[in-house]
Amino acid sequence: MTATVRYTKSGHVARVTLDRPEVLNAMNAAMHEELGEVWADVQRDDDVRAVVLTGAGGRAFSVGQDLKELDAGPRAVSSFGSRGKPGAPRLTDRFTLTKPVVARVDGYALGGGFELVLACDLAVASDRSEFALPEPRLGLIAGAGGVFRLARQAPLKPAMGYLLTGRRFSAARAAELGLLNDVVPAAELDECVEGWVADLLRCAPQSVRAVKQAALASLDMPLEAAFGARYPEEERRMHGRDAVEGPRAFVEKRPPVWEGR
């Protein structure tokens, strides 16, 4: 797509590649701006049913914010979220995105790179990958969701250990904490990712979007409140043609043909 992000779409799948391998895919303002355009396009395009997010070069998913640029730039209005920053809202706080995003991690996922992984719905990593939120060692804070998501997605004591110290941990440890769906040898990474993508595409796109919205929107609700809440994607699914097509295809013993409507 541009100098810092590669963006392609084929067969209902969008592929987003962070493309600054010479600096381990560190994210600068240009990359954030381009990613903002990408996520807006993903959200608009009803033909996109799944997204794969990865980093170029085979050494890193992303090592996070480009600190050289951070040192030279103005201070943000807030430590948390992307309001007022390039590319806002970023994936880490684009809470209206209901398309599933799969992180393909090969190598380092540090700082903002790890925060991107935490913001994805599924994550697959090579066994040589490493993770960390090292911001406290730099006088910073993991404000793009790291302090919030890690404490929600992993047990609290190990999450606090990594948040407070900036320690690195392996892909095997990340899987043990429930942060990854699969860990595989690097040679098997693409096959594993494509298996997850194929399974997503087998499902009705409106069902997938409704599930994502309901599951994430209800995380902090009491169970009774979650049952009573409104989920716009579920209302669209209930009245869509795919809700008829699925049961009909099952009765007729044929694969369903999803319209996404």
- pLDDT band of residue 135 (cuts 50, 70, 90) is very high
**Which of the residues are catalytic?**
115, 135
pLDDT at 71: 63
Average pLDDT over residues 237-247: 97
Tell me the pLDDT tens digit for each residue of 52-88: 999 999 999 999 999 988 766 555 556 787 777 888 8
What is the residue extent of each domain of the chain? Answer: 5-201, 204-251
The confidence score (pLDDT) of residue 30 equals 95
pLDDT at 47: 96
Among the residues of the chain, which ranges form H helices?
29-44, 67-72, 112-119, 146-153, 156-165, 171-176, 189-202, 205-217, 223-228, 232-238, 242-251
Domain 5-201 is found in CATH 3.90.226.10:
yes
Q: Is the pTM of this model over 0.85?
A: yes
Q: Tell me what pLDDT residue 80 has.
A: 83
Position 91, amino acid: L
